[in-house]
Amino acid sequence: MHTMFDSGSTVSFISGRMVDELGLRPIRLERPMVLSTAAGDKIYPNLVCVDCPVEIEEHTLPADLRVLEFLEFDALLGMDWLGAYHAQIHCYGKRITFQILGHPEFSFQGTSTNLPITRGRVATSVDVETFAGVLSTTGKVETRLEDVPIVCDFPDVFPAELPGLPPPREIDFIVDLVPGTKPISIPPYRMAPKELDELRGQLDELLELGFIRPSMSPWGAPVLFVKKKDGSLRLCIDYRQLNKATVKNKYPLPRIDDLFDQLTGSQCFSKINLRSGYHQLRIRAEDMEKTAFRTRYGHYRLIMPFGLTNAQTMFMDLMHRVLRQDTWTICHCVHRRHLDIFQDSGGAQRAPQVDFADTARASIIR
């Protein structure tokens, strides 16, 4: 058998071809495991051969082997197997040593061959090859958003683009200032010609969506661009001076240690990424003038709290209000649009994702 010892793999595998050849009887996992390949793809093996005898130097070392149809090797022995038998891989000497409880230490020695640099033979009685790559797939495995059943059932909850302004809610975003604060106005920052072109385009888009409006406010913050990972430019409003003068909202955020305690007994976990946490709240009408920002192409004010302090705590407050009547429990909210939620085993029989989607639809959360 061509076998790979892989200290970078959490579990061990066997090819579907070898399962058929050896007449093994794999059992089906209750929940398929999620496997990330070296290429960054995800696959979901759902069969396992339990206690398969692996013979090395007259020693039998059983292994639980997940079945992968496209595995390039006959078998791959990962850290679950290597750790169980206290294996030590000596790379320079091409030797593997095993220490099994109640048995003397044993090892086997490989010989040098003229193989490519990514490949080396390290076994005698077992033909073992090590490769630079971990796994390869015959085709790229992708899950498209439109293929997810919950997205198909609730297209209005998971839109491709934000439809416009959020509806009026039980709470608005409030900008309370430290007493005695006077209007803050800072001249626009200098921009390169490319940035000015981008600024004009993004301002036109924000105006069309209704996210900003022209303003004559005595307040005014400058804007700048930050390059994103894909090379595009993100428009940022420099509200640092306004944020310093804003009274901080002390609405409590979850404690990590408390959250782990609450997870006990939970069986269903979901991570919900909203299109934008900022998109869920409007700024209180009398506070909009404080959000004004200055550009070469005009003076505008925000309708929603992009970049303002207290945005995270106000978003948490909103989520508590939206979900307070459900069997859902808010688990964690770190960023402005990420919400982790869980449901215990005694909750409703409906799929938890559907429960949340129903609530999001009723509350117009996107």
CA distance 6 to 328: 41
pLDDT digits (tens, 9 = 90+) for 64-103: 988 887 777 888 888 888 888 888 888 877 788 888 877 8
Q: Residue 312: helix, strand or coil by DSSP? A: helix
Helices (H) and strands (E) in the chain, counts: 8, 23
CA distance 30 to 320: 33
pLDDT at 90: 83
What b/e sequence results for 200-227 when a residue is b if at least 16 CB atoms lie within 10 Å of its CB, and e otherwise? eebbeebeeeebbeebebebbbbbbbee
pLDDT at 131: 33
pLDDT at 233: 92
Positive or negative: CA dihedral 96, 99, 100, 104: positive
Q: Which two tokens stand for residue 104?
A: 């003397």
Whole-number Cα distances in Å, 205 to 164, 166, 210, 288: 11, 17, 9, 19
pLDDT at 122: 32
Counting other chains too, the contacts that 33-37 makes at CB distance below 8 Å and 24 or more residues apart are 33/66, 35/135, 37/134, 37/135, 37/136, 37/137
| Predicted TM-score (pTM) of this structure | 0.53
According to DSSP, the β-strands at 338-344 and 329-332 are: antiparallel
pLDDT at 343: 61
pLDDT at 241: 95
Residue 177 dihedral angles phi and psi, to the nearest 5°: -100, 155
Q: Which two tokens stand for residue 338?
A: 């990420």
pLDDT at 334: 42
pLDDT at 240: 93
pLDDT at 166: 77
By CB atoms closer than 10 A (0-12, 13-18, 19+), residue 195 is: middle
Which domains can be identified in the chain, with CATH numbers?
3-131 (2.40.70.10), 145-363 (3.10.10.10)
CA distance 269 to 331: 9
> What secondary structure letter does DSSP report for 272?
E
Q: Which two tokens stand for residue 220?
A: 């005014």
Structure-derived torsion over alpha carbons of residues 230, 135, 28, 148, reported in degrees to the nearest 10:
20
pLDDT at 115: 34
What pLDDT tens digit does each residue of the chain (366 aa) get?
A: 778 888 888 888 898 888 888 888 888 877 767 777 666 667 778 888 988 888 887 788 888 988 887 777 888 888 888 888 888 888 877 788 888 877 888 887 655 444 333 333 333 333 333 333 334 334 444 556 666 677 777 777 777 776 677 777 788 888 999 999 999 999 999 999 999 999 999 999 999 888 899 999 999 999 999 988 888 999 999 999 999 999 998 888 777 777 777 777 766 666 777 766 667 788 888 999 999 999 999 999 988 777 888 888 887 888 777 777 554 444 444 444 556 666 655 444 455 666 677 777 766 766
CA distance 91 to 75: 20
